[in-house]
Chains A and B, each alone.
Chain A
Amino acid sequence: MSARPPGEARIGLRHGAGGPAMRGLVESLFAAGQREDAPDRIGLGALDDGALLRVGARWLVFTTDSHVVKPVFFPGGDIGRLAVSGTVNDLAMMGATEPLGLSCSVILEEGFEREALERIQASIDATCREAGTFVVTGDTKVMGRGELDGVVLNTAGIGFAERPVRDDGLRPGDRILVTGTLGDHGLAVMARRHDLGLGEELRSDVAPLNGLVRAALAAGGEAVVAMKDPTRGGVASALHEMAAKGGVGVLLQEAELPVRPAVRAAAELLGLDPLQVANEGKALLGVRPEAAKRVLEALQAHPLGRDARCIGVCTPERPGAVILDTGFGRRLVAEAEGELLPRIC
Chain B
Amino acid sequence: MNDITLSVQHLRKKIGKREIIKDISFELKSGEVFGFLGPNGAGKTTTIRMLVGLIKPTSGTIHICGYDVKKDFSKAMERLGCIVENPELYPYLTGWENLEYFSRMLNNIDSNRIEEIVELVGLTERIHDKVKTYSLGMRQRLGIGQALLSKPKVLILDEPTNGLDPSGIREMRHFIRYLAEKEGLSVLVSSHLLSEIQLLCDRVSIILHGKIIHTESVHTLLTQKEKLFWRFTPLEKGIKILQTVAPSVQVQDDIVITPFIETEVSKWSKLLVEANIEIKEMNRQIPSLENLFLEMTGGEISE
Chains A and B form a bound pair: no
